[in-house]
Chain A
Amino acid sequence: MPPTAEPERNTGQSLPANIVIPDSVVSLVELARLDRALASFPADVLVAARIAAEMTTAIRRLGNPGRTPWPPMRPGRLP
């Protein structure tokens, strides 16, 4: 079914003046080559970084996964 009234593409955001992108996030953005996203959607980049920080905290809170290596090596056999 064709879209009846296509919403406007969101072409960009601006951050409130009191919010600054941390240097650590800028560094990761550069590594990930997300410069264009940072320029146009800085608020979304910040949200993405916050989601990732929450995920990282959650997985690290689980502690040590144990001594089982992953992926398990099974010579001569598909895992």
Chain B
Amino acid sequence: MIDELHWCSAADLAKAFAEQRLSPVDVVGHLLERIDQLDPVLNAFVSVDHEGALEGAKRAHLEIRSGAKRGALQGVPVAIKDVIDVAGMRTTCHSRILIDNTPETDSEIARRLREAGAIILGKLSTHEFATGGPSFDLPFPPARNPWNADHHPGGSSSGAGAGLAAGLFPLAVGTDSGGSIRHPASACAVVGLKPTYGRVSLRGVFPLTYSLDHAGPMARTVGDCALLLSAIAGHDPEDPASVDVPADNFSTGLAGGIEGLRIGFVRHFHEVDKIAHPEVAGALESAAALLAANGAQVVNVTLSSLEAYSAVNSVILRSEAWSIHSPWLRARPADYGELARQRLMSGAFVAVGDYVVAQRFRHGLIRELEQALCDVDVLLVASSMDPPCRIDDINEISRTYRREAREPFNVTGHPALAMPAGAVSSSGLPLSLQFVGRYFDECTLLRVAAAFERLASTSVMRPPIYSRSASVPR
């Protein structure tokens, strides 16, 4: 008997649906009730499609009963960051600018999700246009961290991190141009994977930039991330950034273990470039020791400084974002919140020569990382340098947003996965780490992450106040 439906993994749900031990109608109904109960505090959602989700669940139930197979996510609920188009649902980007924007067609991600049989519950909170930070002057409130609702859940895929950690849904799709999948994964103790650049189509995703944006899976387990990536990855000839490489079944090989693998530990990111909070540094050392004790060879790797990566990411991100937003910033500056207005306008003051210099440095950083990954299978690096901070402390948010090691892999496009480090801080908030893989080798990356998840028992981490089951249908 499956209990605690809201903590069930997507893989377990899909299996239970296929074996007709459970109906998508029961699960979707239960999750919608839980959303109604908890989301007024958490603000994970910008919009919930009660009617559409229940209709989809009924359809999936009937299809399963009749033996019609749709795909690996048949009947499984998923929620989507509100920068990704779903036909008939508003895509607001959490902004007044697009408050009435209802696309008529699905993004490629939504199309693939429907093809796999997933049920889309609704659209998730973000920072305005996936930039800035948590803001209180937007048409929707910012998401809050289920581990402590006074704290920031990370961003910009904030609603995804918050909703997964609170058991509102098992799967979410986020986007990441400077860490926006991996930050909420880190802050909320869930798993977030930024795939290789070009692995997941960005058609129908509102851009923050042209060359740093990635879309990817978020879930409570590594296995569910792999399952979701398998559904949304694949070449899209209509997306100029999409790369024509085979889309693997990323779930195979997860049990492979780490024996014999070489893991490069980039210590200087958190020991020299940005001095991490002692509890974060301690968790990283413990993780490295655990991996080494279980058969991996952990070696030190030195890359360029975080400052170099950050300088390159910032100039490219702000310049490209300005080119996207300049018409609205000129005509409708009052329709942005303060943080996004400031950040997005800053690109107007960057010289084009500096943008080109940043791109030239980027080329060198890519070559450097490629070289490092010739000698090791994956990298172990910090994600956040600090535990999550209070959501109302604008100075601390501003300080900690610069204290991270996620931007390097937007600059280079390598796949990077953030997950719980297996410990919480003395204040009861999640600590995290990050693994980075070779281009298009998400399989090895997921294999290492799955091994660490088993070794450190990270998939059972739950925010204390949400760890008890609500009234659960049996």
Interface residues of A (CB under 8 A from B): 1, 3-4, 6-12, 25, 28-29, 32-34, 36-37, 40-41, 44-45, 47-49, 51-53, 55-56, 58-62, 65-66, 68-72
A32 to B330: give the CA distance in the assembly, Å.
8
Cβ of B138 within 8 Å of any chain A Cβ, yes or no, is: yes
Contact (Cβ within 8 A) A1 B333: no
Contacting residues, chain B, for A72 (C-beta < 8 A): 363
Name the contact of B334 in the complex, choosing from A12, A52, A58, A71 (C-beta under 8 A). Answer: A12
Contact (Cβ within 8 A) A1 B315: no
Closest CB of chain A to B242's CB: distance in Å?
Answer: 13
Name the contact of A40 in the complex, choosing from B40, B333, B360 (C-beta under 8 A). Answer: B333
Contact (Cβ within 8 A) B345 A11: no
Contacting residues, chain B, for A28 (C-beta < 8 A): 348-349
Closest CB of chain A to B273's CB: distance in Å?
Answer: 13
Closest CB of chain B to A49's CB: distance in Å?
Answer: 5
A72 to B362: give the CA distance in the assembly, Å.
12
Cβ of B347 within 8 Å of any chain A Cβ, yes or no, is: yes
Closest CB of chain A to B115's CB: distance in Å?
Answer: 27
Contact (Cβ within 8 A) B364 A55: no
Cβ of B175 within 8 Å of any chain A Cβ, yes or no, is: no
Contact (Cβ within 8 A) A9 B46: no
Interface residues of B (CB under 8 A from A): 39-40, 45-48, 96, 122, 136-141, 307-308, 310-312, 314-315, 318, 326, 329-331, 333-335, 337-338, 341-351, 354, 356-364
Closest CB of chain B to A19's CB: distance in Å?
Answer: 16
A47 to B359: give the CA distance in the assembly, Å.
25
Contact (Cβ within 8 A) A52 B338: no
Name the contact of A53 in the complex, choosing from B136, B311, B349 (C-beta under 8 A). Answer: B349
* The 4 nearest A-B residue pairs measured at CB: A52-B349, A65-B360, A48-B345, A58-B311
Listed residue (B46, B345, B360) with the most chain A CB atoms within 10 angstroms of its CB: B345
Contact (Cβ within 8 A) B354 A59: yes
Listed residue (A11, A48, A55, A71) with the most chain B CB atoms within 10 angstroms of its CB: A55
Please list 5 pairs of residues, one from A and one from B, whose beta carbons are closer than 8 Å in the complex, sorted by A's number. A10-B334, A34-B348, A48-B346, A59-B311, A65-B357
Contacting residues, chain A, for B359 (C-beta < 8 A): 70-71
Contact (Cβ within 8 A) A9 B333: no
Contact (Cβ within 8 A) B354 A68: no
Query: Given contacts A34-B329, A47-B342, are A52 and B350 in contact (CB under 8 A)?
Result: yes
* A24 to chain B: closest residue by CB: B349
* B136 to chain A: closest residue by CB: A7
Closest CB of chain B to A8's CB: distance in Å?
Answer: 8
Contact (Cβ within 8 A) A68 B347: no
Closest CB of chain B to A51's CB: distance in Å?
Answer: 4
Contact (Cβ within 8 A) B39 A10: no
Contact (Cβ within 8 A) A68 B360: yes
* A10 to chain B: closest residue by CB: B137
Contacting residues, chain A, for B347 (C-beta < 8 A): 52
Contacting residues, chain A, for B345 (C-beta < 8 A): 34, 37, 44-45, 48
A54 to B380: give the CA distance in the assembly, Å.
29
Contact (Cβ within 8 A) B338 A10: yes
Contact (Cβ within 8 A) A48 B139: no
Name the contact of A49 in the complex, choosing from B45, B326, B346 (C-beta under 8 A). Answer: B346
A58 to B139: give the CA distance in the assembly, Å.
34
Contacting residues, chain A, for B140 (C-beta < 8 A): 1, 3
A29 to B322: give the CA distance in the assembly, Å.
13
A12 to B341: give the CA distance in the assembly, Å.
12
Closest CB of chain A to B366's CB: distance in Å?
Answer: 11
Closest CB of chain B to A63's CB: distance in Å?
Answer: 9
Contacting residues, chain A, for B138 (C-beta < 8 A): 7
Contact (Cβ within 8 A) A51 B46: no
Contacting residues, chain A, for B351 (C-beta < 8 A): 56
Contacting residues, chain A, for B310 (C-beta < 8 A): 58
Contacting residues, chain B, for A29 (C-beta < 8 A): 348
A61 to B308: give the CA distance in the assembly, Å.
9
